[in-house]
Structure 1
Amino acid sequence: MHDSKTYDVVIAGAGPVGLFLACELRLGGATVLVLEQAEDPRAPLKRLPFGMRGLSAPTIEAFYRRGMLADITHVQPSSDKTASATTTAPHWMNQRRRPGGHFAGIQFLLDNVEPSQWPHRLPSPAGTNMATTMEHIETVLSARAQTAGVEIWRGAGVESFDQSADSVTVRTAGKTFKGRWLVGCDGGRSTVRKAGGFEFTGTEPEFTGYSVEVELADLDKLAIGRQYTATGMYTYQAPGTIAMVDFDGGAFHRTEAVTLEQVQSVLRRVSGTDTTVTNLRLATTWTDRAYQATTYRSGRVLLAGDAAHIHSPLGGQGLNLGLGDAMNLGWKLASVIRGDAPDTLLDSYFAERHPVGSEVLDWSRAQVALMRPSRSSRALEAIIRDLMATRDCATYFAERVWGVSLQYELGGGHPLVGRSAPDFEFTDGTRLGEHLEVGRGVLLDFNADAMMGEVASRWSDQIVYLALGAKNALGLSALLLRPDGVVAWASETKPEAGRAAQAAVRWFGEA
């Protein structure tokens, strides 16, 4: 069957990255079809305990700036009454001092983090970190996408495609669809990446990781929390939630079904105990394989999320990295589709996001180095643990884990250029985040300069002009923001309209 309609964009994958990208593209006016291999979006691994994901500052800001933060924050009870039947509160909830995150299991504490070292940030409804489940995120994004007019076909994963100079023909489940662009958001084993001939390079795994929900005959034989041993590492949350890594070179990952006997064998070897597993409720494996595509675009085919980069789930960076890809790509691709900008604007997607992905892969590799079952790794761990107990080091790790330090190299002279814009509170009672919900750029003019108003009028269909005072303008006179909330240009003195116009041409095309 051939669908005669030509979509602006076909997206492979209805996970959080594909759904968020679809929402961004619809906000920019593009028609979007999402093809998803799984027939049912629900899955046990998306719920508690293994579906829990920490959201970083850029992710929270993205949801806030698109009016979805309240929905993301409000978690509905799971319809699966057995989803977390053996799960209690996380072990760190009982600590007197609350952790803000971890690096290879070494916690940094919230009361050691010094936010005053981040002068470019202002208080905002969007905080620096929070947690929710994959299931909940997908539910919110799916509802938003469908309300916006995105078509979602489930049970129809992309099988193959051909691209021409002006379109991509996609085949799936006996059907054929055509799009002007195709974006692979179809995970670490991406069909789009493989069929598109993208080069995928990196480092092979050192371990097989296991996340299991079990019943144990003897609960007191395993120590609560994260434990390093002579043969690996495990984290135990009573009564039966266990994550463990077995340094076997990734030999067992996806090679055969995980059995009770296998889990017990690995758990005994890694923990050094003779604990007995009486029932295996849920199990999945993972590795620290770290690979990245050498380009994120081939003609009319692009990659985002795990299709573009894979690494271990240590520290929960993968979801945030993928959603950052979607926020960066969505407005740019929509602008190209509308004809407001040339397709060379898409070069900035790779230029900005590939280095971020590369840093996350190295961040993952560094954690693996601390986890190796060797005396040198334990010695290095002790040093890092001591450093992380200091305010400067805790703040540094918070910057990295929470994404506060993210800054794109945009070639601007002001330290805010390339960073996420502060959430200014204006004298009319509104906040900057509210003005970004429409998905357009913003020109902030704190002095209501007439020449700045003329600049904004030239791009009035793409830029919201705000000539407002702010309760704290951070000493700034004017800023130009991209639709993703990234500062494209900033001035502390009386602004030069010509420089603002140059920045607008770069990101919004010729007026």
Structure 2
Amino acid sequence: MRHTDVLVVGAGPTGLFLAAELALWGVRARVVERLEEPDPTIKAGSVNVASAAILDRRGLLPAAESVQRRLLASAKTFVRDNADNADNANNANNGDNRGDEDGRLGGLERAFRRFPVVGHFAGMLFRDDLVDQDDPLLAAHTAVANGVLVPQRDLEALLAEHCARLGVEIRRGIEVRGVRSAGADLTDDADVVVETSEGDMTAGWVVAADGGRSVLRKQLGIAFDGTEPQMVGYQAIADFEDASGLRPGWTWTPRGVHSYGPVPGRILVARFGPQPADRDAPVTLEELQSAVREVTGTQVTLTGLRGRATRWSDNARQARTYRHGRVLLAGDAAHVHAPFSGQGLNLGLGDAVNLGWKLAATIQGWAPEGLLGTYESERRPVAAWVLDWTRAQVALLRGDEHTARLRAVVRDELFTVPGAMNRVVALTSGIMQRYDVCESAEEAAAPVGSLAGNVELTFGGRLADHAHDGRFVLVDRSPDSRFAAAVRPLERRIAYVADPAAAPSSPSLLVRPDGVVVWAATQEGAPSDAGARTRLEAALRRWAGAR
């Protein structure tokens, strides 16, 4: 039996990124995947700003920006070719979709130093003209604006290359069938034995990133609490005999919701009704065509599929616990929901970047007491919020007359209130997530607990440039480098960056590997100010471990 420190089950974005995070800390990780080849099925079409920032901190933003440029070029061609469709299609949605798709794409091409207004809420496109770009919250997260349009397939390819550079072993075509302890119980300190189609493998820890139907979660008997599905959706890239009757962009009708483009041939439809008898059966061309005709109200003919079509639902569930002994859950194995806005992809990346360094610290023996437990305590509320966010959208997609009136109120009255679109865009983008890491009321008023954002340095570059190796980053903006001594014994875990020329209002920051600020201090205190140093030392003990 080949042994590894961590066996990651599942080579989706969550599993790949987690394995790379572990490798950055020198932890041996192996990824096993049931599929022989990367899944070509069309899934999430982009990442949110918080996820793009994760890629930025690991030096992957240039690759993401390259993908976005390519996608925008393709999307602009699609919009031009389908301009007549938007003008001539009947207005069955009664003005429900008021976004100018061509203008939105043009805005994304110029997105640098602007917050990317991408996405929708229940099929209602976010409107760039209703977003105040001077909002300090949005302005603090613009550095990654040109790296959000990264479809899941491109992201998986990007992360696979990242893993290869770090020496992570990825083995495909291996089916995981179960786990057991090499000792008396999975909760003891013995290795985990993973039963696979190629024989047993052993690992110190196992992370189940094997999707919403996780074999390991089911075998361990971890309850998956939530709500039953009410909706059936389909997504594919298809060839059409004549697509002139399809309106580009998101459209809501009493029959359901559909979206055509911006990738040529991409079609998404969703309708309320019973679930299929066999939800695992492949989606046939005939099934997809029937759904497209019903929801769009047009008699389009599909002539073929490029890759496989997907069938999904609004099943919304969360694992009752994210850990069973030495087995942890991440990504869809821990939570599932309707896939609107690609929130599942972003949740999984957030899980991976939160768990990676904490598990590495535990394995290497420098983790402060209780550190690994903060993975669940921090990530669980974020996932619960997303489940409710998607449930609210499903409620607004119903086809009855009352829902139609409610959609009009949300679209015309609520979303047009100054600041409302800003908040919805910020929530969807992930930048408002905050962890309870504060030790005092003084810290609660600072950026402690929030994501670091741009953090530009006066000598050039940004904080993210110093986070590529996965370490903590301390940006010391004191005039006399007064905080250097506190982190010097921990230089293998913490990158120290002196930035003494920063404005007096710019705080010094200690940022965790997942981009969360866990300590901040302004320059207003005197060099003898012991309070800031005391709080820094406390944050180091709590998060970075003993010296």
Change in 2 beyond 3 A, CA 1:151/1:204:
same
TM norm structure 2: 0.84
CA contact (8 A) 1:259 1:280 kept: no
Choose the corresponding residue for 1:263, options 279, 282, 288. 288
Instruction: Determine the C-alpha separation between the residues in 1 that align with 2:276 and 2:368.
Output: 46
Instruction: Determine the C-alpha separation between the residues in 1 that align with 2:450 and 2:146.
Output: 14
Query: Where do residues 321-470 of structure 1 align in structure 2 (5 Å cutoff)?
Result: 321-342=347-368, 344-386=370-412, 387-411=414-438, 412-449=443-480, 451-469=482-500
CA contact (8 A) 2:434 2:450 kept: yes
Look up the match of 1:233.
257
Query: Where do residues 296-307 of structure 1 align in structure 2 (5 Å cutoff)?
Result: 296-307=322-333
C-alpha deviations, 1:409-445, integer Å up to 9, x for none? 2124233011111433223323211111121112222
Note the residue ranges of structure 1 that are not aligned, 5 or more in a row: 79-83
| 1:328 alignment partner AA | N
Look up the match of 1:151.
169
Which stretch of structure 1 is more off in the superposition, 231-240 or 380-389?
231-240
Look up the match of 2:179.
161
In the TM superposition, residue 249 of structure 1 has moved relative to its aligned partner by 3.4
C-alpha deviations, 1:265-285, integer Å up to 9, x for none? 333333334444455555221
Look up the match of 2:59.
67
Partner SS state of residue 540, structure 2: helix
CA contact (8 A) 2:368 2:544 kept: no
Partner SS state of residue 457, structure 1: helix
CA contact (8 A) 2:353 2:514 kept: yes
Choose the corresponding residue for 1:501, options 525, 531, 537. 537
In the TM superposition, residue 76 of structure 1 has moved relative to its aligned partner by 10
In the TM superposition, residue 212 of structure 1 has moved relative to its aligned partner by 3.5
Instruction: Determine the C-alpha separation between the residues in 1 that align with 2:507 and 2:281.
Output: 61
CA contact (8 A) 1:224 1:236 kept: yes
Instruction: Determine the C-alpha separation between the residues in 2 that align with 1:482 and 1:243.
Output: 38
Change in 2 beyond 3 A, CA 1:341/1:95:
same
| 2:469 alignment partner AA | V
Instruction: Determine the C-alpha separation between the residues in 2 that align with 1:432 and 1:298.
Output: 36
Change in 2 beyond 3 A, CA 1:225/1:435:
closer
More strand by share: 1
Instruction: Determine the C-alpha separation between the residues in 1 that align with 2:304 and 2:138.
Output: 51
CA contact (8 A) 1:345 1:507 kept: yes
CA contact (8 A) 2:48 2:430 kept: yes
C-alpha deviations, 1:97-149, integer Å up to 9, x for none? 55632101111222322243335854653238621222221122112112212
In the TM superposition, residue 453 of structure 1 has moved relative to its aligned partner by 2.3
Change in 2 beyond 3 A, CA 1:297/1:506:
same
Instruction: Determine the C-alpha separation between the residues in 2 that align with 1:218 and 1:450.
Output: 67
Which stretch of structure 1 is more off in the superposition, 310-319 or 277-286?
277-286
Between the two proteins, the alignment pairs up a number of residues equal to 496
Verify: 1:111 aligned to 2:143, yes or no: no
C-alpha deviations, 1:288-312, integer Å up to 9, x for none? 1011111111111101111111111
In the TM superposition, residue 490 of structure 1 has moved relative to its aligned partner by 1.1
CA contact (8 A) 2:213 2:333 kept: yes
CA contact (8 A) 2:125 2:250 kept: no
Change in 2 beyond 3 A, CA 1:8/1:470:
farther
Q: CA RMSD in A?
A: 2.7
Query: Where do residues 168-183 of structure 1 align in structure 2 (5 Å cutoff)?
Result: 168-183=192-207
| 1:244 alignment partner AA | V
CA contact (8 A) 1:227 1:233 kept: yes
Change in 2 beyond 3 A, CA 1:429/1:379:
same
Choose the corresponding residue for 1:10, options 7, 12, 18. 7
Partner SS state of residue 345, structure 1: coil
| 1:112 alignment partner AA | L
Instruction: Determine the C-alpha separation between the residues in 2 that align with 1:418 and 1:461.
Output: 23
Which stretch of structure 1 is more off in the superposition, 376-385 or 461-470?
461-470
Change in 2 beyond 3 A, CA 1:278/1:125:
closer
Change in 2 beyond 3 A, CA 1:417/1:342:
closer
Which stretch of structure 1 is more off in the superposition, 19-28 or 230-239?
230-239
Which stretch of structure 1 is more off in the superposition, 142-151 or 117-126?
117-126
Query: Where do residues 238-257 of structure 1 align in structure 2 (5 Å cutoff)?
Result: 240-251=265-276, 254=279, 256-257=281-282
CA contact (8 A) 1:208 1:253 kept: no
In the TM superposition, residue 394 of structure 1 has moved relative to its aligned partner by 1.2
* Stretches of 4+ aligned residues off by more than 6 angstroms: 90-93
CA contact (8 A) 1:196 1:301 kept: no
In the TM superposition, residue 449 of structure 1 has moved relative to its aligned partner by 4.5
In the TM superposition, residue 221 of structure 1 has moved relative to its aligned partner by 3.9
Which stretch of structure 1 is more off in the superposition, 68-77 or 10-19?
68-77
Instruction: Determine the C-alpha separation between the residues in 2 that align with 1:295 and 1:170.
Output: 20
Change in 2 beyond 3 A, CA 1:455/1:414:
farther
Partner SS state of residue 371, structure 1: coil
In the TM superposition, residue 488 of structure 1 has moved relative to its aligned partner by 0.3
Instruction: Determine the C-alpha separation between the residues in 1 that align with 2:138 and 2:258.
Output: 38
Q: Percent identity?
A: 40
CA contact (8 A) 2:44 2:345 kept: no
